[in-house]
Amino acid sequence: MADTEYICLDTEFVNNISIIELSVFSISGREICHRLFRPARDVRWTAPPDKLKITPEMVANEPTFRQTLTKIQPIFDRARFIIGYAIDNDIKMLRKEGVEGLDDITPIEVRDLYWLVRGRSSGVDLYGVPNLIAITNELGMTFDEGEAHFASSDTRATLFCFHKLIQELCDSVGESYDPANPDNALSLFNREFTIAKKQYLREQAHGYAWFVETPKGYKLKISRTPPGPEITTFAETADRARAEYDILKFVSRREIPGAHGHYRLKESDFAFLRKYTNTYDEESAEMLRRLMKFKGRLSF
């Protein structure tokens, strides 16, 4: 089995427009591709120097990404897995630059692997994982700001973190890890992460709903933590987004003209709140979270 079926990569790009550096390592730690690229069109390099180390002068005489695409595409044609840190951003830019077949390659997010193996047990939020520098140093490889944000350095650090974390995951369940053929380890990771993420989302969805009186009228409050002792009427819910949708729909007819989000409530509305309950349904939970982000546009 070729070690290039599993690749680890990092891209540096300017203003979410053009890739200016690409580094790709095989699973065994060989750098199989490193290139600099000139943006296809003029762009303003607005990123601060500590976040983007490549300068316009460094790429002025380099080809554009698309001019070298025929040499780069075969790397992705052979790959089955792409390992990365914030890999979705890299994949988005590679797709934008014309790389094909990315939907057929399984992405492995090292941030998720860190959360599963180490972060979750120490209270790190799934969406608040430390940066690559912090994780790399925690795992025992010296990596500082001077090295970061060069694609080769970032890819080397990412691959180091991947091997360390996947080894810890395998050790934790008594399974062996073959760094040259990580199929079984990746299956373990995907299975355990799916279970852990579902539990995380279920826990995060739990919360409370109550009304707060303001000079304009009553306003619905949704929170993960319970209200203070001064609030005697509230609902504990398994899914906060569902509760927000249901309660706002129920009281929509009480909205005060000219005071969006404020309501003139009656006792029947408080009675509804006292009796309100719901259950968590993972299939509809994400849809509801997204829907309620646009609650200002809803018309019940």
The 10s digit of each residue's pLDDT in 13-45 is 888 789 999 999 999 999 999 999 999 877 777
Residue 275's alpha-carbon distances to 61, 219, 231, 256, 269, in angstroms, are 69, 18, 15, 24, 10
72 plus 96 within the same structural domain: yes
* Backbone φ/ψ region at 112: left (φ over 0), alpha (ψ -120 to 50), beta: alpha
* Spatial separation of the C-alpha atoms in residues 33 and 247, rounded to whole Å: 55
Q: What is the arithmetic mean of pLDDT over 54-79?
A: 94
Q: What is the CATH number of the domain that holds 155?
A: 3.30.420.10
In degrees, rounded to 5, the angle at the alpha carbon of residue 228 between the alpha carbons of residues 224 and 230 is 140
* Spatial separation of the C-alpha atoms in residues 160 and 106, rounded to whole Å: 19
Count of domains for the chain: 2
89 plus 197 within the same structural domain: yes
103 plus 211 within the same structural domain: no
195 plus 213 within the same structural domain: no
> Number of helices (H) and strands (E), helices first, in the chain?
10, 8
Where among 202, 237, 259 does a domain terminate? 202
**pLDDT at residue 1 above 70?**
no
160 plus 45 within the same structural domain: yes
79 plus 37 within the same structural domain: yes
**pLDDT at residue 107 above 80?**
yes
221 plus 125 within the same structural domain: no
174 plus 220 within the same structural domain: no
Where among 150, 172, 202 does a domain terminate? 202
> What is the SS3 assignment for 197?
helix
Q: What is the arithmetic mean of pLDDT over 259-273?
A: 96
User: pLDDT by residue (tens digit) across 130-162?
Assistant: 999 999 999 999 987 777 778 999 999 999 999
Residue 36 structural domain: 3-202
267 plus 163 within the same structural domain: no
191 plus 233 within the same structural domain: no
130 plus 178 within the same structural domain: yes
User: pLDDT by residue (tens digit) across 45-65?
Assistant: 766 555 677 888 899 999 999
154 plus 21 within the same structural domain: yes
Where among 181, 202, 223 does a domain terminate? 202
Q: What is the mean pLDDT of the chain?
A: 91
**Per-residue pLDDT at 150:** 87
Residue 86 near residue 9 (C-beta atoms within 8 A): no
